[in-house]
Each structure stands twice: as C-alpha cells, then as structure tokens.
Amino acid sequence: MAIGRVGFIGLGIMGAPMAANLVKAGFHVAVWNRTPARMAPLLELGATPADSPAAVAAASEVTISCVTNSPDVEAVALGPRGIAEGAGPGHVYIDCSTISPETARDVARHLQERGIAMLDAPVSGGDVGARSGTLAIMVGGEAAAFASCIPVLQAMGKTIVHVGPSGAGQAVKLCNQVAGGLNLLAMAEAIALARAADVDPARMLEVVSAGAAGSWMLSNLAPRAVSGDFAPGFMVDLMQKDLRLVLDEAARSHTPLPGSALVNQLFQVVQAQGRGADGTQAIVDAVAWLAARPGS
C-alpha cells in the first residue's frame, strides 16, 4: 500500500526544507518543532500542526525526525509524548539526525518491541541539498522497511543507499564526516596558500575546482569563505558534535584518525573565537590565524 501520511519532527536548517519537499511531493505532512514558530512556513505550504511527537506519529504512517543529537532522538522516540506513544504496529520511524550508531541500535531495539520499525537515515548535502531535494541518504535498518519507504526518501534525496542493519547508516555518516572534514581542511589550506602567494583565491578556485582536486567543498563552500560569507549551511558546533562521535567510534574500535583529530582541533579555534554558529567554511580563518593572517 502506498504511503500517504508522513510526519516530520525538527524543522531546523535541514529539516524545514526536507519537510517542505515532502509537502511538495504530495504527501499529507504533520509537523512538530520544539520552537512552534518554526512550523509557520510549513503550515503555509499545507502541512498540519501537531502538539507533540506522539501526535505526529498518530497522524502518520511514517514519522521522520531531524534533530540535533543522540539524547534528542531518544527523547523524541522514547520519551514522554514521544513517537512510541503515538505509533502503532507497522509504523516506520526514520531518523535523519546524526547520532551515535550505538544509540540508533538501542532506539531501534526498543521500538521493535512495540512493533515499530526504525531506519537510521542520516543525510549529506547541506542546506543546498536539503532545499533542492538532492541529499545523499545512507540508511540502516530492516530491508523490508527500507523498501516500503523509498518513495518518501526519494522526495528528500537523490542518492539513497541501504547500507546494512540498524546503526549502519550512522556508521556511514561518520565516514562521510571524516571525508568532509578533511575536504574542508584541504579547502582552507589551498585558500591560505593562494593568499600567501598573492594569488586571487577566487581565480584559484575557478580552475582547481574543475580539475582532479575538485570537491563539493571547493565548489559550494570555498566561494562563500573567500567572499567572507560565513552564514551556516552546517554550523561549526554541529560539525564538532559529529566529529566527537567520529572520534568516540574510532576510540572504540582502536582506529587511528589523525586528520579528523586535527580538523576537530582547528574547529576548536573557531569555537574559542565565539563563532560556533558560523558555517563550517569558517575553518579557513582558523588556518589563517595560524599564519597570523586572519581575515586576509
């Protein structure tokens, strides 16, 4: 049976455009956000409001969340007035947050006891991908639940891959953050070297982005950094939360990740300057400060 009713919890930089794309795709969407004012733009598009995660789940066949961290997912799914209280057997809960694989497995186990399937489905592509519906979505959980939710996921993303059992989606997302963090560092160092050589960094980016060294970061975030635009597509504070998850998982498995540890420390510099709410492109200033050329 085709899914027609979808709930969405968490309407931040990523969640709001993801929910909007579900409405535009023709789903009946119920929404809830901890700050009610953020629901207004979705209601204007045709979504319906709910007063709790439980109410969202009760009005939906599939409930999606996109919240900040592991405790938030536990509260939304299992806490008072949470999804578990409103969803019945056969319901599917899709969490698009970035949390620890262990938390994803634990929440899935508790929900399974109630007949509720969970997919951990973190996303990549930033605010640009969220708005355009071209996110990469890495999904862990039961294959049958994944298959039933493909039309829902396709309304939000372009590359959608089932990567394994519960927790596998989160593990792949941590791999994504490792690669993304090191690409951010490469971007920052390239800009720093161009400026030190008295080369226009915008011209440098024009040619380097089109060659073998090109990356999403160079194409999308580097031009913002060069122009001094540090508005967040993804905040430094959130990237640091993800990198802590990365380093915790690496410690658990005794996997050395020296590059990721360095990126984490450079973002510490940005946070120490009170810029944790800036976009991750702010790493360019951390590298510049090492050369005593901030804002150059």
Residue 259 is part of a domain; what is its CATH number?
1.10.1040.10
Model pLDDT, residue 178: 98
Same domain, residue pair 201 and 267: yes
121, 139 contact by CB (below 8 A): yes
Positions of the chain with pLDDT under 70:
1, 293-296
pLDDT at 147: 97
Per-residue confidence (pLDDT) for residue 291, from 0 to 100: 83
Residues 15 and 56 in one domain: yes
Task: Give the pLDDT confidence score for residue 114 in this predicted structure.
Answer: 96
Q: Which of 226-261 are b and which e, b meaning 16 or more Cβ less than 10 Å from the residue's Cβ?
A: beeebebbbbbbbbbbbbebbbebbeeeeeebeebe
pLDDT at 282: 98
Pairing, β 123-124 against β 62-65: unpaired
23 with 125, same domain: the answer is yes
80 & 146 share domain: yes
Could you give the CA distance from residue 149 to residue 252 in angstroms, rounded to a whole number?
A: 32
pTM of the model: 0.92
Per the CB < 8 A criterion, the answer to whether 41 and 13 are in contact is no
Domain that holds residue 100: 5-164
Task: Please answer whether residues 64 and 8 qualify as being in contact, where contact means their C-beta atoms are separated by less than 8 angstroms.
Answer: yes
* Residue 158 is a catalytic residue: no
11 & 151 share domain: yes
Counted domains in the chain: 2
From 7, 3, 96, 95, select the one nearest 48 (Cα to Cα).
7
**83 and 11 in one domain?**
yes
Residues 25 and 107 in one domain: yes
